[in-house]
């Protein structure tokens, strides 16, 4: 059977050309046959998926409609899922079975989605390569010797290999957009507060945001329709009017002002990535968009500011994992202090420990003002840069990552080099802005992503621009040969 997009399958389900059970069995079969080569899933919920598919078929037979009715999707293993292990890629939560559904899971279930399973990820979403997972690294479907990006690398790899037509991800500093670029799929980080964080295991609470990953912008719009919405259980959730993100996809781009930051095209950008991004921007110009050179003068400070703010919040959020209430507990502790120290030492991996230690240091007496407070002031400057830029332009565009997918193990011993792979994505999280990455070309067989950043609550415009680009090009339709 020819594989289709999420929206394509939705049309075929409504036309009764295929049943949800047949569709679900198709993807479960692909996971069983092909996932061993990329390790994108940590849990496959076969029985639950087939039961949900049968229920969806009954609803479809009655003529019912829902945004994702009968459509199989994958959930990143950071979202609590009732009765299913939710590990966050960590030994610390290897045995944790969530007693409730995260808001995102709840909303997607209500929209009729069929969950295929939980996808692999960097431990507690800390990483840019999906190599820090307790369950082993995820491999890039385009080249299994290379990383898929992180921390949502499992979701990106599963969508790229067509083991799922769509998946959820989370983005704290680029963790939807960077793996989307490395794996040649479309990924959207919504405005902070647009999608509820209730039941999404916290890394850095002022930065984390859930979002969709799929082959196309049209698919991401369909997913966002189900995911977005106010949630009173999340104190950072924002009340907004309901919006249909598919409604404006076909608007033309005539007169659209696209800002091109000088800082995103300078030193450090791989020359072939630059070429692919410039070719993609030429397509948008042909569709009527107008390029405008702009400056984001404080963007170079985004990485150091982020790696103060995010570890500080990580240190606070991960303090709850102490071996007492839930999570990994060491065997035969001598006393309470031994229980705490050994449980945390055994449960957390090296990258998580590194960030906890950095965060504890910058929050400590004598260093709070010198590091954490200063980073928050820089964060405000970065947000002000964007505010001024959006007075001149409608959308900001540039490369998603300065480099191509790197080889497994290539940067494991150099965390600073790893952190710099997110240099173009982090600023949007610090400012709380929406950002999207879409496939924009290749270098050899490796994908290149074009990033679009929008003003607050302007996801519909980002999806519109991406959709218009994808109407003109076929990069989002490409599949790795080994998975075709």
pLDDT of 227-285, one tens digit each? 999 999 999 999 999 999 999 999 999 999 999 999 999 889 999 999 999 999 999 99
User: In this predicted structure, what is the pLDDT of residue 412?
Assistant: 87
The DSSP string of 211-273 is EEEESSHHHHHHHHHHH----TT-TT--------TTTTTT---TT-EEEEEGGGGSTTS-HHH
Query: Does 151 participate in catalysis according to the annotation?
Result: yes
Both tokens assigned to 43: 């849990």
User: In this predicted structure, what is the pLDDT of residue 2?
Assistant: 84
User: In this predicted structure, what is the pLDDT of residue 420?
Assistant: 85
Phi and psi of 75, rounded to 5°? -110, 130
CATH of domain 6-256+473-483: 3.90.1300.10
Please tell me whether the peptide bond between 151 and the residue prior to it is cis, using omega within 30 degrees of 0.
yes
Select which of 76, 118, 189, 411 is catalytic: 76
Phi and psi of 346, rounded to 5°? -80, -30
Sequence spans of domains, the chain: 6-256+473-483
pLDDT of 349-392, one tens digit each? 999 999 999 999 999 988 999 999 999 999 999 999 999 999 99
Select which of 19, 151, 237, 315 is catalytic: 151
CA distance 281 to 106: 38
Reading the chain (484 residues) residue by residue, the pLDDT tens digits are 789 999 999 999 999 999 999 999 999 999 999 999 999 999 999 999 999 999 999 999 999 999 999 999 999 999 999 999 999 999 999 999 999 999 999 999 999 999 999 999 999 999 999 999 999 999 999 999 999 999 999 999 999 999 999 999 999 999 999 999 999 999 999 999 999 999 999 999 999 999 999 999 999 999 999 999 999 999 999 999 999 999 999 999 999 999 999 999 988 999 999 999 999 999 999 999 999 999 999 999 999 999 999 999 999 999 999 999 889 999 999 999 999 999 999 999 999 999 999 999 999 988 999 999 999 999 999 999 999 999 999 999 999 999 999 999 999 888 888 888 899 999 999 999 999 999 999 999 999 999 999 999 999 999 999 999 999 999 999 999 999 8
Query: Does 62 participate in catalysis according to the annotation?
Result: no
User: In this predicted structure, what is the pLDDT of residue 326?
Assistant: 86
User: In this predicted structure, what is the pLDDT of residue 228?
Assistant: 97
Both tokens assigned to 316: 């606070």
Select which of 175, 237, 299, 302 is catalytic: 175
- Convert 370-404 to b/e letters by CB count within 10 Å (16 or more is b): ebbeebeebbeebeebbeebbeebbbbbbbbbbbb
User: In this predicted structure, what is the pLDDT of residue 179?
Assistant: 98
Max Cα distance, the chain (Å)? 70
Global pTM value: 0.97
Can you say whether residue 432 is alpha, beta or left, with left for phi > 0 and alpha for psi between -120 and 50 degrees?
A: left
Query: Does 421 participate in catalysis according to the annotation?
Result: no
């Amino acid at each position: 059977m020819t594989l289709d997009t999420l929206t394509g399958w939705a049309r075929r389900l409504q036309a009764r050309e295929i049943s949800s059970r047949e569709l679900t069995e198709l993807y479960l079969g692909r996971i069983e046959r092909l996932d061993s080569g990329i390790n994108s899933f940590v849990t496959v919920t076969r029985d639950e998926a087939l039961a949900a598919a049968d229920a969806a078929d009954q609803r479809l037979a009655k003529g019912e409609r829902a945004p994702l009715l009968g459509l199989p999707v994958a959930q990143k293993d950071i979202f609590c899922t009732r009765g299913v292990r939710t590990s966050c890629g960590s030994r610390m939560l290897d045995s944790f079975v969530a007693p409730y559904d995260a808001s995102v899971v709840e909303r997607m279930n209500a929209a009729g989605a069929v969950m295929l399973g939980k996808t692999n990820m960097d431990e507690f979403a800390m990483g840019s390569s999906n190599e820090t997972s307790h369950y082993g690294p995820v491999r890039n479907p385009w080249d299994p010797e290379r990383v898929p990006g992180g921390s949502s690398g499992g979701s990106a790899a599963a969508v790229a290999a067509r083991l799922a037509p769509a998946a959820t991800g989370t983005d704290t500093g680029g963790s939807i957009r960077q793996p989307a670029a490395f794996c040649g799929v479309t990924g959207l980080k919504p405005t902070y507060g647009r999608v509820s964080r209730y039941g999404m295991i916290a890394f850095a609470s002022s930065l984390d945001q859930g979002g969709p990953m799929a082959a196309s912008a049209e698919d991401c719009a369909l997913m966002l329709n189900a995911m977005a919405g106010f949630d009173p259980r999340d104190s950072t959730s924002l009340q907004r009017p309901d919006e249909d993100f598919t409604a404006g996809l076909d608007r033309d781009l005539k007169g659209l002002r696209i800002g091109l930051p000088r800082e995103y095209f300078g030193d450090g950008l791989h020359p072939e990535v630059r070429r692919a991004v410039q070719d993609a921007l030429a397509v948008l110009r042909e569709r009527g968009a107008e390029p405008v050179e702009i400056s984001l003068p404080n963007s170079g400070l985004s990485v150091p500011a982020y790696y103060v703010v995010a570890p500080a919040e990580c240190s606070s959020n991960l303090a709850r994992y102490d071996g007492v209430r839930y999570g990994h507990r060491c065997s035969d502790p001598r006393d309470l202090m031994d229980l705490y120290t050994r449980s945390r030492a055994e449960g957390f991996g090296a990258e998580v420990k590194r960030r906890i230690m950095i965060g504890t240091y910058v929050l400590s007496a004598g260093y709070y003002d010198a590091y954490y407070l200063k980073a928050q002031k820089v964060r405000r400057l970065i947000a002000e840069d964007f505010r001024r830029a959006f007075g001149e332009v409608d959308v900001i565009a540039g490369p998603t990552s300065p480099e191509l997918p790197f080889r497994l193990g290539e940067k494991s011993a150099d965390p600073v080099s790893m952190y710099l792979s997110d240099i173009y994505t982090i600023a949007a999280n610090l400012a709380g802005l929406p950002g999207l990455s879409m496939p924009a070309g290749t270098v050899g067989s490796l994908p290149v992503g074009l990033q679009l950043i929008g003003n607050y609550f302007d996801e519909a415009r980002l999806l519109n621009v991406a959709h218009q680009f994808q109407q003109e090009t076929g990069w989002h339709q490409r599949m790795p040969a080994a998975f075709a």
